[in-house]
Amino acid sequence: MLSANANFDAKHDLDYKTPIYLVHFDGSDTDFCNHAPLSPDNNLKYYLVDISGNSQKVIPEEGKGSISGLTIRIQDYDSVLTAIIGADDYYYHRKKTTVKAGYLGMAEADMLTVFTGWVTGLKQALNGMAYQFNVTDPQKWQQRKVFRSATELAPVVLQGNPINILLSILTSTGAGTNGDYDYLAAVNGLGIDDAEINISNIEDVRDKYFPGDSNYMAFSITEKIKAKDFIEKQILKCLNVYPAIDGQGKYNLIPVKPPIIGADTLQAFTPDNIIGLPTWDSNLVETINEVEIHYNYDGSDYDENDYIDTDSLNNRGPGKKALEIKSQGWKTDLLPSSMPGERATDVISRRKDRIFGRFATPPTKISFPCFFSRWLSEAGDIVAFTHPLLPDLENGNTGIEDARMEIISRTIDWKNGRVKITLLDTGFDKGNYVAIGDTTLIKSTNLITP
């Protein structure tokens, strides 16, 4: 969920409010808006026509996140915008673009940065009266190939904590000047500015869920490969983590986990903010009761473990195609045997258990449009869902109340002021979870006090 501030929350909670949007292109002293905020940072032109897009989708079990983007149309009144674009050496190609949102009467300092990306497309629109900018999130950069020097005779060897390996691929420039993880040759990394990556949060995910050598991978890479494919298939899918881009345009990682009571305070979805009757789908096609895990890659082949949830298979029949998890980095024969190798075996077993726990019983899928007030929710959030008219098959009655579900898709209709949400009921409401703090500090799930 996007983080707000007190002044923003006060406006956001009003029943009647007028959204305002502001577009800023990096290096420009002219911004474009539909309504003016108070105390603007730059000169303002009321030329913003509309914004569309920013569809966020995640596939948690695949470790994948979509490359999202916005379409922004800005009027070229009196050729002002033509002059601004023409003054740029690259005509705004890959120009960093920031979109802020707020409400009428709000200062720009209190508006939220809701999207940051790069200009990847530019064309005329509205019969030549405007320009249309296609702005893509920073994951676009990961479509480049890495390990460009790797061959069978000279493989690129990487080993250690998989999160550290991921950060080194993202940031390495070959110069060692781009943060703590810039230690690979330039041909083996992407060289993304470490300021564009939420390093501190990714380190926090590593230290909480994959500390030290509890998750250890060792790669010997013999060919170049698209960075996004390698990161998602070889690392994130194995760790039960998926990528996301926050409103500041920074790359981040989200672990698939139950929400922590008292710590994860997110928006709720109820008939008060849902428009119409949600679409309910038992989602039987998403049953996963067979998993194939491939490990111990020797340069040409893998060892393979095939797992079956027999209860699900016997009662439901085969689910969709067996989920295949394959990583060249998983090794069970590493030395010392008391450390990384044995732990890889444990990690593989736990990964299988988590898949069956979420998908051996197919998770219900619920889709609906809702009021614009819910646009702060993001794909990956675990949210509370309540609706009196939807079936609760587990309890054999009608009505769902405060079920914790996972947002797997969110699309914002900026023009008409609606949000389309798709939820997956992946079983996170089956128990209560609490946060355990440093040493002996335990927080009450009711009072949120030590």
3-state secondary structure the chain: CCCCCHHHHHHHCCCCCCEEEEEEECCCCEEEECCCCECCCCEEECCEEEEEEEEEEEEHHHCEECCCEEEEEEECHHHHHHHHHHCCCCCCCCCEEEEEEEECCCEHHHCEEEEEEEEEEEEEECCCCEEEEEEECHHHHHHCEECCCCCCCCCEEEEECHHHHHHHHHHCCCCCCCCCCCCCCHHHCCCCCHHHECHHHHHHHHHHHCCCCCCCEEEEECCCEEHHHHHHHHHHHHHCEEEEECCCCCEEEEECCCCCCCCCCCCEECCCCECCCCEEECCHHHCCCEEEEEECCCCCCCEEEEEECHHHHHHHCCCCCCEEEECCCCCCCCCCHHHHHHHHHHHHHHHHHHHHHHHCCCCEEEEEEEEHHHCCCCCCCEEEEEEEEEEECCCCEEEEEEEEEEEEEEEEECCCCEEEEEEEECCCCCCCCCCECCCCCECCCCCCCC
Please give the Cα distance from 251 to 274 (Å, whole number). Answer: 30
pLDDT greater than 60 at residue 162: yes
Which class is 6-136 in CATH? mainly beta
Amino acid at position 123, single letter? K
End-to-end Cα, the chain, rounded Å = 25
Angle between helices 199-209 and 162-171 (to 10 degrees): 160
| Share above pLDDT 70 across residues of the chain, in percent, rounded to a whole number | 91
What the block records as the tokens of 65 is 């996140």
Find, among 91, 109, 100, the residue nearest to 72 by Cα. Answer: 100
Lowest mean pLDDT among 294-303, 312-321, 326-335, 360-369: 326-335
Cβ-based neighbours of 272, under 8 Å, separated by 6 or more: none
Please give the distance of CA 329 from its chain centroid, rounded to a whole number: 23
Q: What is the pLDDT of residue 378?
A: 84
Q: 117: pLDDT confidence band, cut at 50, 70 and 90?
A: confident
Q: Return the pLDDT at 389.
A: 96
Kindly state the average pLDDT of the residues 80-86: 95
The CA-atom distances, in angstroms, between 285 and each of 7, 269, 275, 281, 403 are 45, 25, 26, 10, 22
Mean pLDDT on 22-40: 95
Q: Is the pLDDT of residue 194 over 70?
A: yes
Instruction: Collect contacts of 172-177 with beta carbons under 8 A, ≥24 apart.
Output: none
- Measured between alpha carbons, how far is 72 from 50 in angstroms, rounded to an integer? 6
How many of the other CB atoms lie within 10 Å of CB of 123? 9
Among 3-17, 150-164, 176-190, 394-408, the range scoring the smallest mean pLDDT is 3-17
Would you state the pLDDT for residue 69? 84
What is the model's pLDDT at position 348?
87
Mean model confidence pLDDT for the chain: 87
Structure tokens that stand for 76 in this block: 């070229």
pLDDT at 140: 78
Which pLDDT band holds residue 342 (cuts at 50, 70, 90)? low
CA distances from 38 to 17, 103, 104, 110 (A): 15, 10, 9, 10
- The total number of residues shown for the chain amounts to 450
pLDDT above 80: residue 309? yes
Could you tell me the pLDDT band of residue 290, with boundaries at 50, 70 and 90?
A: very high
Alpha-carbon distance of 198 to 342, in angstroms, equals 31
pLDDT bracket for residue 450 (50, 70, 90): very low
Summarised one tens digit per residue, pLDDT across range 170-180 is 999 999 999 99
> Which pLDDT value is given to residue 251?
87
Instruction: Quote the pLDDT of residue 137.
Output: 81
So what's the pLDDT on residue 30? 95
Confidence band for 429, pLDDT divided at 50, 70 and 90? low
